[in-house]
Amino acid sequence: MKIWCALLLCCLPVLSWAGPLRCEIDTGGALPFAPFTRENPIAVDENTPDYSVVLALDYAQFLPNMRLSCTSDGQEFDPPANFDGTISLSLSAVNDNALDWAGEAQTTNNGIKMKMYIKAVSLSEETPPSSYPSAKMAIGKRLGVEYPIINGKDDSTLVQFGAQYNAGKTLYKYDNKYNFAIESMRVELIKFGWVDYRSEAVIPPGAHLTFSVDGMAGTATVDVPLGSGVFMAAPSCSLDNKHQTVDLGGINKSSSGTFPKEGPLTRFGMDFTCSSYTNNVEFTFSDPSSVISGRDTLPAVSEQNGQKLKGLEVGIYDNEGKTVRMGVKQNIGIGQKGKNTAFFQAAIVQTAPEITDMDDKIFTGNFTAKANVTITYY
């Protein structure tokens, strides 16, 4: 019994030592998952390929400004054995669960996983006398470089904080005036299989990241709240106007030079409404008179007799002026819940010196060009 009690008394301080040291992560109150409520869910189609990103929150949207700092509140402390003068913070758990081997955090839905990325944005530039460097990058890590978090500790340990010390390096202290760094994180929700459209949030109430303080004996941790939310729903998007007309004006026919020649671009918007936030919306333009895909233009047709014209066509372009090929999907990005507008452009294109009808007679008059438009979403 005496041996057992002696061992217990020796081991207990090592397992629970924390001393006066306190580390914090201040996010400025960011709760990045809070906007995706039951009333504003994200759309995930069951047919979306596995490993597709269904929600991406970039650095500005997720955790843009995490201030990591450590302090001993002015107190000097006698450190535990093997303390080398530096400590660091590393991600240890997501919602109290460890990451899996691929770095994908579990959610409450078996078909959705969460993947995170981290980078150091800035470090303390001031180190007081009698101190290790107050903040420096960990070995192998660089400022401003993104690191995917696969192995939580190895990948998320970016910065080391150095302690101040007394003359004999027997007592140490930390000060959040010097021992701080700014880090930033982004996140992706990834479809990983069959999606269960349940009423509960994919990210549970009280969602948080847990960081561990490394370099000191003990189990000190820091939680970063993420906000509850991220509800899901089957997507539904539709065009608001099933028949839309775009007036392209007229064309001054040219009989010389190089063809094809494009007229002025006319910008137009196509309104559509989505039942929920949708990560990918695609528009496809196609020629209703042809089953062949991949053409760059639509045929022009005489308004008088419906005959196809020679030497005259209509081109469709994206918002940046790049050609939209017929039958090829154009991904315009996300669709917000409610009303959205996708912008495109169109232009009259003269393809030959003469504009004629099918009987090779010179054409003058009004003409039209028609396109079928398909909207897809996932």
Write the pLDDT tens digit of every residue in 68-115.
Answer: 999 999 999 998 888 999 999 999 999 998 888 788 888 888 889 999
**pLDDT score at 14:** 31
Q: Residue 242 to residues 118, 245, 374: CA-CA distances in angstroms?
A: 44, 10, 10
Write the pLDDT tens digit of every residue in 38-50.
Answer: 777 887 877 788 8
Q: Which residues contact 43 (CB under 8 A, 6 or more apart)?
A: 54, 232, 233, 234, 235, 236, 237, 274, 275, 276, 277, 278, 279, 335, 377, 378
Element holding 285 (H helix, E strand): strand 277-286
Higher pLDDT among residues 36 and 348, named by residue: 348
Cα dihedral value 104, 106, 110, 114, nearest 10: -50
Write the pLDDT tens digit of every residue in 168-184.
Answer: 999 999 999 999 999 99
CB 69 within 8 A of CB 177: no
